[in-house]
Structure 1
Amino acid sequence: MNILDVASGICIGVGIFFIAVAALGIIRLPDVYSRLSAVTKAATLGVVLILAGAFLNKPSWQSLITLGLAAALQFVTAPVGGFALGRAAFRSKSPLAAATGYDQLSDAVEESQQRNPG
C-alpha cells in the first residue's frame, strides 16, 4: 500500500461524507432554498473529491483528462442548475422557512415593481 492508495481512499471517503451530508440536508432542512444550498454545495464537493480519489487510484493522462472534464462540468452545471431551481421556486412563491427572518429578494422585487409598474 503506497501513499497514492491512502490519498485516494481519503479523498473518496471524504467525498462520500459530503454526499451523505447533502442527502441528510435534503431530508432535514426546512425549505426548498436551504435544500438547494445543501445539494449544490456539498454534493458538488463530494463528487469532485470522489473524482480526485479515482484519479489518484489510477493516475494517467487519460484519466486526468476524463476526470478533469467531469469535475469541470460538475462545477459549471451544479451552480447553474441550483440557481435555475431556486429562481423557479421563488417565482412560484415557494414559502420560506419560519425561521427565516428577512427576505431581501422579495423586497428588491417589490421595490423594482413600484418603480417600473407594468
Structure 2
Amino acid sequence: MRRAWALLAIPAVLALAGFDHAPRAESSIAASVSCNNMGSGSFACYASASGGSGGYTYTWSWYQKRLGHTIGGPFPAPSPDPEAFGTCSLGYTVYVTVTVADSQGATTAASTQLLCRQWPD
C-alpha cells in the first residue's frame, strides 16, 4: 500500500511544483545603420531598430583605418539615442558599429563604413 501511495504522490507533487514546459517566444531584433560624411573631418550616423520588446538602447563604437594603419579605435560611445556624431582623420576609412538592446536584454549589431573627406556627401 505504501508503494502505491508513493507512486500516486509523485505526479501530484510535480503538478504542484508548476513546471512550465511551454516553449518561450524568442525576441528577435533587427537593426540597420547608415552614416554620412559631414565634411571637415566629421560624420553623423543614424540607426533604426525593429522587433523585440521595444525600449531600445544604442551603444556605438568606431575606429579609423588607412593603408593598414589603425588609429584610436574602437572608441566606445554609449548612447540611448539612435544617432551618433564623431570626428575622423581626412582620408581614413571609418568603421562604425551600433549594438542595439531591447528592454528584455536581447541584442543585435549592425555595421557600416565611410570615407572621411573634406567635403560633405
Q: Same fold (TM over 0.5)?
A: no
Q: TM-score range by the shorter chain?
A: under 0.3
What TM-score, normalized by structure 2, do the two folds share? 0.21
Give the structure with the higher percent strand: 2
What TM-score, normalized by structure 1, do the two folds share? 0.21
Computing the radius of gyration over CA atoms, which structure comes out larger, 1 or 2? 2
